Amino acid sequence: MDIVHHYIEQGQGEPLILLHGNGENCDYFAGQMDAFARHYHVYALDTRGHGKTPRGDAPFTIRQFADDLLGFMDAHGIAKAHILGFSDGGNTALIFALKYPERVDRLILNGANLDAKGVKRSVQLPIELGYRFAKIFAGKSAEARQHAELLGLMVNDPNVRAEELERIQARTLVIAGTHDMIKESHTRLIASRIPDAQLVFVEGDHFFANKRPEAFNRAVLDFLNH
């Protein structure tokens, strides 16, 4: 693999891997580490090109991030893990569960989406406009190129068909905020197509895991521990 992930780890027991969202890093899960580490060996990664993990030369796509996760697990001798992903991290977890089902114990999808149509239009339109402008200047500025790549993830990925979800083997928690940027109907579609899925809505917006960590942590631990 062309990169080495930066990560933080805490706790002992079964491995639980946390994947942050677009433009963020492992610090997103500051409100989860202590709570989860009481029960699990928790790893929070910086995705390729995020935080302290280098960009590398491989494609900057959700599917590449899933392959990167496989490389991380192999490098750390993790045969199987619970995978929790937020937003684009949820999309990475979703792709990982489809590509490498034997490596997933339980799956938690927090604010994930199948494609750009699942995002509320009031949120998606500015992203698409920003992506177009960033692409124009991507050849002239490293900052613009990075911005275009990040926005491109939210415009072009992950593009999963609903029927593909029927292949997910892991017991799954689909969790979202009541005022999430993902359409409620889209979240319900994801949960309905995964064979063994539980759906939970927590009061709050897309970033409720930060703003209401107790409610989020309780929902996740209830799922993992039963």
pLDDT for the residue numbered 58: 97
Q: At what angle do helices 121-137 and 142-156 cross, to 10 degrees?
A: 140
Instruction: Output the tens digit of pLDDT for each of the chain's 226 residues.
Output: 899 999 999 999 999 999 999 999 999 999 999 999 999 999 999 999 999 999 999 999 999 999 999 999 999 999 999 999 999 999 999 999 999 999 999 999 999 999 999 999 999 999 999 999 999 988 888 899 999 999 999 999 999 999 999 999 999 999 999 999 999 999 999 999 999 999 999 999 999 999 999 999 999 999 999 9
Specify the DSSP element, H or E, that contains 135: helix 121-137
User: What pLDDT digit, counting tens, does each position of 49-64 carry?
Assistant: 999 999 999 999 999 9
Closest CA to 96 of 173, 209, 105: 105
pLDDT for the residue numbered 139: 85
CATH label, 7-114+162-224, candidates 1.10.3720.10, 3.40.50.1820, 3.90.580.10, 3.40.630.30? 3.40.50.1820
pLDDT for the residue numbered 140: 85
Residue 41 tokens, joined: 């060996």
Per domain, the residue ranges of the chain are: 7-114+162-224, 116-157
Residue type at position 176: A
Distance between CA atoms of 145 and 15, rounded to whole angstroms?
35
pLDDT for the residue numbered 121: 97
pLDDT for the residue numbered 153: 97
pLDDT for the residue numbered 161: 98
CB 81 within 8 A of CB 16: yes
Quick one: 148 exposed, middle or buried, by C-beta within 10 A (0-12, 13-18, 19+)? buried
Residue 7 tokens, joined: 């990560």
- Global pTM value: 0.97
Distance between CA atoms of 217 and 32, rounded to whole angstroms?
7
